[in-house]
Structure 1
Amino acid sequence: MSFAQLGLSDALLQAVAEQGYTDPTPVQSRTIPLILDGKDVLAGAQTGTGKTASFTLPLLQRLAENHDIKQKPRKLRALILVPTRELAAQVFESVKTYGMYLPFRTEVVVGGASINMQTRNLRHGCDIVVATPGRLIDHINQRNVNLSNIEMLVLDESDRMLDMGFLPDIRKIMALIPKQRQSLLFSATVSSAIKSLAAQLLNNPVEVEVAKPNATASNITERVYGIPREYKRELLSYLIGSNNWKQVLIFVRTRHGADRLEQQLISDGIRTTALHGDKTQGARNKALEQFKNGKVTALVATDVAARGLDIDDLPHVVNFDLPQVPEDYVHRIGRTGRAGASGEAISLVCPEEAYMLVEIEKLLKRELPRVADTGYEPVSLKVFDAPKKRAPNPSTGKKDYRHSKKPAPRRGGAKPETGGGRRGRGR
């Protein structure tokens, strides 16, 4: 099947062709016709499968079918909600790229950017807004934006929005949007909490699942190195240097840990930068740009900062710290192996994190391959007295081990970067 067979307009087909795309991905071929037909859709697909284009293209076409170029000022007709600033920027660029031959005005509304400039643009009028919930609520409270004419609503990375505590903001926003609308909900994982949210927001939705829940891509090679905590950084530097890695994304648990590892790798002669929630938006943009254009080899990031990063042909991802929430393992390693490319995901696991590894493997329903000879004294990753499991979080439906009785030790009292609700990343 080609894009032309999906029923897209000539203007959109031209924009797609200029980006070098000829055949749609599975999620695109299944969702685009449904959205063009006016259906509400709940779509679950792994990261890197083309989800953004699967809602951006049909959204632009449906708006174009009933666009009044004489309407002054422009009415806001489509709202795309995302959990993070980086993902908002990515979606915003996709809307501009695919809509280059359509007469639409789009605004991105996120924290960390000038609210005054956003206010001017919103009051001047726009057709599409890409927003994080927290900053959109700010504009709603200041009466800078009118949601009463919304025809299409998209919630992207819905699972992460629930993780970050945005559900109250989402409900407040929903109360201001017409009930007669087309709603689309996209998520990397389709948990019971996501299905509950879909039941509240969608009208007789068609559910599209293009991959098994909580599955990792088959083109990603995964390996676990069992290693004492104090030797993790030494092993990481060795792997980067001995293998001549040119680009590696490294996940850590805390902001303090990101800054510390950044300095340690720099002292080892590795060009490194860090990305986390304490950085200004300008600093985050600079760090990401340096990583993308090859000026730095290693990008050290927390989960909150890295969600939504779209980096072409990223070859290596390293879990320096295992994630506290098992589902985040899937999201992390999904940064590599995108669009069919091959990728490598390495986890450096100390004995104190063994119980986290057990939970990840339970989620995946398989054991991750261990490296037998790490170059260090072997350590046991067996769990004899695992922490007591907590009941699923009622807002996310996920088990969270952050407050278990036996957390992995943290140095310097640093706390995991968890998003902090509306005052976290989305602000």
Structure 2
Amino acid sequence: MSEFKLPEKWQQRWDEEGFTTPSLIQESVYRPLIEGESLVGISPTGSGKTLSYLLPTMQNVQLNEGNQLLILTSSQELGIQVAEVARQWGKDLGLNVQPFIGGANVKRQIEKLKTKPEVLIGTPGRIVELIKQKKIKSHQLKTIIFDEADQLFLPGASHLVEEIIKSLQQEVQLGFFSATADQALAAIQAIKPEIQVIDVTKEDQSKGVVKHTYLVYPSRRLVDGLRRLANIEGFQGLVFFNQLQDLGSAEEKLLFHHLRVASLASDQSKDLRKMSLELFRQGKIVELLTTDVASRGLDIAELPYVVNAEVPLTKESYLHRAGRVGRMGASGQVVTIVQENTLPRLKKLARELDLTIEEVFLHGGALLDEQPEKEIHQPKERKPLKQTEPKVKHEAVKSNTKPKVKNRKKAQKNKGARKRKEK
């Protein structure tokens, strides 16, 4: 018998949202989390990890007792998304949910903290800042969830996580979630040596059919390839770049061609990033150009395409980018643009991830599975010339006789004979 049992108000929302049965990760971590246990939750991208930790932990929050549940996210976009989901479900229980992410006005956030929200969602840098200012009551926290845990323990971010944990004055419940959380397992076990690991990756069946493909296209004509993809009927895709400068150059050229594209980059303001993402979700943009900043946790319903403008640098990067399609049973396609010298690297990534990857062809405004036959241009038949009589050139008939000179004056007649006589 399933232990996944929701409060009556949530059961109604669950039905209205169109959910039928919980995903494997949602069912597997529900009881341990609701009982206050610490754990590592690992499941494929798009398998419902956000609700898997929100639903049990929010039920343990007590109304009007201040900061109790903290959810740390690896990016601003993920923080905003998690906050939206938490607010939807939290309002049914009367919970005050507030986001505290970098890039937002810190003074306004401090004002929001005066309302004593029970649920906090934030990025590590901003949370550390507010704890140091003693605006967040870290001694009141009972549970901390680390979303995209492997990213949070990367160099440059791990020291912030350590500061947050050191600020705690009591033993708290810890939850670490990611599709690749095993990458950070050593760092997690250094904090919590005996932590239980729940990995449902091999058993999970929630992922839809995702087709992995590659398109051979010259690097110097990359923008032309993206332009042609954008003009395919029904196309909409996240386009990933490895370098921020390449993204900016491509966006400028595509906008010059009046294509409906936008970018989502780390050097943009929070409001601009939020607007680009919202326009993309509304279908008003066909290509959203980004880097790995958008590869983690973003949920875009029934997104049909992910395009790698170049081969991702790591297998983890490929896995998380590809995870933007095929979420919760939807189908999708990943297209990686390669050249002859980069194709071996892509095939190596595919072997490491145990993926079947096939070539596709961009032709006639569509992506084809088979190479189109080349059109053979036959030379045009020449019209026969009209038969005409050959022109005969009338050449003068040569003769040994000198032509007679007419009208010669008398004085000149027999001139030669007179000269002989004079001699």
TM-score (norm 1): 0.79
How far 1:186 moved relative to its partner?
A: 0.4
**Residues 212 and 356 in structure 2, CA contact (< 8 A), matched pair in contact too:** no
Question: What value does the CA root-mean-square deviation take over the aligned residues?
Answer: 2.4
Structure 2 match to 1:37: 35
Residues in 2 aligned to 1:75 and 1:28: alpha-carbon distance in whole angstroms: 27
Matching residue within 238, 247, 252 for 2:236: 247
2:139 matched to 1:148?
yes
How far 1:127 moved relative to its partner?
A: 0.7
Matching residue within 228, 236, 241 for 2:226: 236
Residues in 1 aligned to 2:158 and 2:316: alpha-carbon distance in whole angstroms: 19
Residues in 2 aligned to 1:369 and 1:162: alpha-carbon distance in whole angstroms: 34
Matching residue within 200, 203, 206 for 1:210: 200
Residue 313 of structure 1 aligns with an amino acid whose one-letter code is E
Residues in 2 aligned to 1:264 and 1:341: alpha-carbon distance in whole angstroms: 32
Aligned length in residues: 363
Relative to structure 2, which stretch is displaced further, 355-364 or 102-111? 355-364
Matching residue within 107, 114, 119 for 1:116: 107
How far 1:351 moved relative to its partner?
A: 3.7
Identity of aligned residues (%): 28
Matching residue within 215, 224, 232 for 2:214: 224
Structure 2 match to 1:182: 173
Residue 216 of structure 2 aligns with an amino acid whose one-letter code is G
Distance change >3 Å, CA 307–CA 222, structure 1 → 2: same
2:189 matched to 1:199?
yes
**Residues 90 and 96 in structure 2, CA contact (< 8 A), matched pair in contact too:** no
- The C-alpha deviation readout for 1:216-261, integer Å capped at 9, x for no partner, is 95611010112221122222322332x3134211001222222221
**Residues 71 and 120 in structure 2, CA contact (< 8 A), matched pair in contact too:** yes
Residue 166 of structure 2 aligns with an amino acid whose one-letter code is A
Q: Which of these two proteins has the greater Rg computed from alpha carbons? A: 2
2:301 matched to 1:312?
yes
Structure 2: which 5+ residue stretches go unaligned? 364-423
**Residues 327 and 363 in structure 1, CA contact (< 8 A), matched pair in contact too:** no
Structure 1 match to 2:311: 322
Residues in 2 aligned to 1:187 and 1:293: alpha-carbon distance in whole angstroms: 27
How far 1:18 moved relative to its partner?
A: 2.8
Structure 1 match to 2:53: 55
The residue correspondences of 1:9-408 to structure 2 (distance < 5 A) are 9-63=7-61, 67=62, 69=63, 71=64, 74-163=65-154, 165-191=156-182, 193-202=183-192, 204-212=194-202, 217=207, 219-241=209-231, 243-354=232-343, 356-366=345-355, 368-371=357-360
**Residues 44 and 189 in structure 1, CA contact (< 8 A), matched pair in contact too:** yes
Residues in 1 aligned to 2:311 and 2:155: alpha-carbon distance in whole angstroms: 18
Residues in 1 aligned to 2:298 and 2:238: alpha-carbon distance in whole angstroms: 10
**Residues 97 and 120 in structure 2, CA contact (< 8 A), matched pair in contact too:** yes
Distance change >3 Å, CA 260–CA 291, structure 1 → 2: same
Residues in 1 aligned to 2:277 and 2:258: alpha-carbon distance in whole angstroms: 20
SS in 1 for 2:299: coil
SS in 2 for 1:126: coil
Distance change >3 Å, CA 216–CA 251, structure 1 → 2: farther
Distance change >3 Å, CA 369–CA 334, structure 1 → 2: same
**Residues 253 and 321 in structure 1, CA contact (< 8 A), matched pair in contact too:** yes
How far 1:103 moved relative to its partner?
A: 2.2
Distance change >3 Å, CA 100–CA 17, structure 1 → 2: farther
Structure with the larger RCO, 1 or 2 (CA within 8 Å, 6+ apart): 1
**Residues 280 and 288 in structure 2, CA contact (< 8 A), matched pair in contact too:** yes
Residue 118 of structure 2 aligns with an amino acid whose one-letter code is D
Relative to structure 2, which stretch is displaced further, 97-106 or 332-341? 97-106
Residues in 1 aligned to 2:175 and 2:353: alpha-carbon distance in whole angstroms: 27
**Residues 95 and 117 in structure 2, CA contact (< 8 A), matched pair in contact too:** yes
Residues in 1 aligned to 2:14 and 2:194: alpha-carbon distance in whole angstroms: 30
Residue 38 of structure 1 aligns with an amino acid whose one-letter code is G
How far 1:85 moved relative to its partner?
A: 0.6
Residues in 2 aligned to 1:319 and 1:245: alpha-carbon distance in whole angstroms: 18
**Residues 326 and 356 in structure 1, CA contact (< 8 A), matched pair in contact too:** no
Distance change >3 Å, CA 216–CA 252, structure 1 → 2: farther
- The C-alpha deviation readout for 1:403-425, integer Å capped at 9, x for no partner, is xxxxxxxxxxxxxxxxxxxxxxx
Distance change >3 Å, CA 216–CA 235, structure 1 → 2: farther
How far 1:124 moved relative to its partner?
A: 3.4
**Residues 78 and 298 in structure 2, CA contact (< 8 A), matched pair in contact too:** yes
How far 1:77 moved relative to its partner?
A: 0.8
SS in 2 for 1:250: strand
How far 1:12 moved relative to its partner?
A: 2.4
**Residues 150 and 178 in structure 1, CA contact (< 8 A), matched pair in contact too:** no
**Residues 82 and 156 in structure 1, CA contact (< 8 A), matched pair in contact too:** yes
